[in-house]
Amino acid sequence: MIFLEKTLAVATKYGYMFVDGIFYTLLLSAITVFFGTIMGSLLSMLRMSRFSVVRFIATAYIEIIRGTPLLLQLYLFYFLLPDLLPFLDDKFLCICIALVLNSAAYISEIVRAGIQAVDRGQAEAARSLGMSGVQNMLRIILPQAVRNILPALCNEFIMVIKETSLASTFFIGDIMSQYKKIQGLTYLVIEPLLIAGIIYFMLTFSLSKVVAAFERRLKTSD
Amino acid sequence: MTDQPMIYVEDLYKGFGTLKVLKGITEHVNKGEVVSIIGPSGSGKSTFLRCLNLLEEPDSGKVFFEGVEITAKGVNINVHRQRMGMVFQLFNIFPHLSVIENISIAPTMLKGIPKAQSKKAAELLLERVGLQDKRNEHPSKLSGGQKQRLAIIRALAMEPDVMLFDEPTSALDPEMVGEVLDVIKSLVSEGMTSVIVTHEMGFAREISDRVLFMDEGMIAEQGPPQALFGDPQNQRTKEFLSKVLY
Ligand SMILES: Nc1ncnc2c1ncn2[C@@H]1O[C@H](COP(=O)(O)OP(=O)(O)OP(=O)(O)O)[C@@H](O)[C@H]1O
Ligand SMILES: [Mg+2]
């Protein structure tokens, strides 16, 4: 009982800090997935380029990003970026860039899979009518691929919400950063952790329900 | 060069990896001519047809269309494909567009025809194949036969000079074959130059000016339908026909 009372007391007293944390976690995730989608789409085009050098570079990038830990990448960009580009001395910005570069690699594979899942006959029909490769991609393939891509992209958003917790290493205001601050203020470990966990779960669980409903609608409107 | 063939193919070779599919084909299709291609499965009929509009790129050899070598370097094939309609075995209707948009998208996009005008032209085409009631439907609501009729008028909307058909009725339920063949017949009777890969021997015999029998990547025999079906010369042709005609 004492434990629950303490947890409630922490939630009441420091709730506003967690609200800040939710804001930053969602902001960071939204920025990551938004720019990650733009960059990931471009990357997937490079990955499917007819020039083997371009394909190789894109593939190498994707493999390296996916083959090394995100935490390592965060450290690297956190320390390296301000050194290389002195105007980038905002740590939130550096973390954002690292997260975007990371998630672009994953999203490019989502986009590629979505495009390749479109029946080959579609492109053949479009090209046989005289459409160029670009016209075919923009008007025939991508509109169909979006249906495959969107649900996976929403799942990526849910993943990123959890992954941004790694950025708390650098105290950038997300839920886990706030947890650490509250822990420092209260000398309590478990109680604020429980609250953070509940918040994460509520965020991801409700979002995945939304995605599932959304996916059902995409299917039935077919 | 007034009587140059509409399509002329010279010494065409095509393989996939180590598999040699086309082994030196020289052939022509005249303006207004209806040419059917028959032959065993895997003999290269589809590959040959797809080389005509370069959906498959030949390994060697030349393809001329209306006097232009489209296999030459620097040719913008998209311009030439606009004048070569193609109909596929599996229809390949665009599922994200309505029935009428399937027809009007290419003329609007490629010929710069205003949307309203190309939709009007599309309506006429829909009427012609009896699909006017379906104009705003989603293509998933169409039967196989209706999809194939739609695919044919989608190609016609570009006002092509030649139509290429790759087994247009092979994926259809038997009761829908007739309605699609009727559309092709009416096209042909209006003088549309056509190249038709088909397993429908009766149909090939009825509408063709010339029939090509393909076997193992070559044209083993060719001639007018009465001769080829009635009195085949090549041993392989005889075997094939005795199998498919019982
Ligand atoms: N894209 C491809 N990659 C590899 N092999 C292919 C490809 N397309 C066709 N082939 C092979 O080439 C050969 C000829 O194929 P093609 O489709 O031209 O035959 P077909 O005469 O049209 O046969 P069918 O009557 O079954 O349609 C086949 O052995 C086929 O497996
Ligand atoms: Mg075939």
Q: Is B223 left (phi over 0), alpha (psi -120 to 50) or beta?
A: left
List the structure tokens of B237.
């042709």
- Are A6 and A187 in contact by the 8 Å Cβ rule? The answer is no
- Name the one residue in this structure whose structure tokens are 């470990």: A189
Give me the helix-helix angle, B174-189 and B144-156, nearest 10°: 20
Single-letter amino acid code for the residue at B235: Q
- Closest ligand 1 atom, residue B89 Cα: 27
- Nearest by Cα to A181 from A16, A23, A31: A16
CA distances to A44, A163, A205, B188 from A159, rounded to whole Å, are 20, 6, 11, 58
Report the distance separating Cα A201 and Cα A23, nearest Å. 15
**Does B2 have pLDDT greater than 60?**
no
Give the pLDDT confidence score for residue A10 in this predicted structure: 87
- Nearest by Cα to B101 from B85, B129, B128, B125: B125
Whether residue A143 and residue B96 make contact (CB cut-off 8 A), yes or no, is yes
Angle value at C-alpha B219, between B214 and B221, nearest 5 degrees: 90
* DSSP, res A138: I
**Does B106 have pLDDT greater than 70?**
yes
Q: Is the CB of B58 under 6 A from ligand 1?
A: no
Model confidence band, residue A222 (pLDDT cutoffs 50, 70, 90): low
Question: Which helix (H) or strand (E) segment is A54 a member of?
Answer: helix A52-67
List, for residues A34-66, the tens digit of each pLDDT value: 999 999 999 999 999 989 999 999 999 999 999
Q: What is the ipTM of this complex?
A: 0.94
Please list, in sequence order, all residues whose beta carbon lies within 8 angstroms of the beta carbon of residue B211, skipping any fewer than 6 positions away.
B35, B36, B37, B38, B204, B205, B222, B223, B224, B225, B228, B229
List the beta bridge partners of residue B163: B85, B194
Report the distance separating Cα A132 and Cα A127, nearest Å. 7
| CB contacts, 8 Å: A135 with chain B | 109-110
Nearest CA owner, ligand 1 atom 18: B44
List, for residues B129-161, the tens digit of each pLDDT value: 999 999 999 999 999 999 999 999 999 999 999
CA distances to B102, B119, B133 from B128, rounded to whole Å, are 16, 14, 12
Single-letter amino acid code for the residue at B221: E
Could you count the other beta carbons within 10 Å of the beta carbon of residue B122?
24
Q: Which residue of B has its CA nearest to A146?
A: B96
**Does B184 have pLDDT greater than 80?**
yes
List, for residues A126-167, the tens digit of each pLDDT value: 999 999 999 999 999 999 999 889 989 999 999 999 999 999
Q: Is the CB of B139 under 6 A from ligand 1?
A: no
List, for residues B61-94, the tens digit of each pLDDT value: 999 999 999 999 999 999 999 999 999 999 999 9
Mean residue pLDDT across chain A? 92
Model confidence band, residue A221 (pLDDT cutoffs 50, 70, 90): low
Nearest CA owner, ligand 1 atom 8: B47
- Are B55 and A121 in contact by the 8 Å Cβ rule? The answer is no
Report the distance separating Cα A14 and Cα A22, nearest Å. 13
List, for residues B17-33, the tens digit of each pLDDT value: 999 999 999 999 999 99
At residue B186, φ and ψ (nearest 5 deg) are -65, -35
- Rounded to 5, what percent of chain B is helix, strand, coil? 40, 25, 35
- Nearest by Cα to A129 from B163, B170, B35: B163
Q: What average pLDDT does this structure show over B186-208?
A: 96
Q: What is the DSSP string of B93-105?
A: --TTS-HHHHHHH
Single-letter amino acid code for the residue at A182: I
- Nearest by Cα to B127 from B106, B105, B153: B153
Distance from CA of B15 to the nearest CA of A (A): 19
| CB contacts, 8 Å: B104 with chain A | none
Read off the pTM.
Answer: 0.86
Q: Which ligand is nearest to the CA of B88?
A: 2
Give the pLDDT confidence score for residue B246 in this predicted structure: 67
Report the distance separating Cα B23 and Cα B11, nearest Å. 8
Report the distance separating Cα B129 and Cα B187, nearest Å. 11
Instruction: Report the first-to-last Cα separation within chain A, whole angstroms.
Output: 53
Give me the helix-helix angle, B115-128 and B99-111, nearest 10°: 130
Torsion sign across C-alpha atoms B136, B139, B144, B145: positive
Model confidence band, residue A29 (pLDDT cutoffs 50, 70, 90): very high
| CB contacts, 8 Å: A122 with chain B | 92, 94
Please list, in sequence order, all residues whose beta carbon lies within 8 angstroms of the beta carbon of residue B129, skipping any fewer than 6 positions away.
B149, B150, B152, B153, B183
Distance from CA of A104 to the nearest CA of B (A): 27
Q: Is B203 left (phi over 0), alpha (psi -120 to 50) or beta?
A: alpha
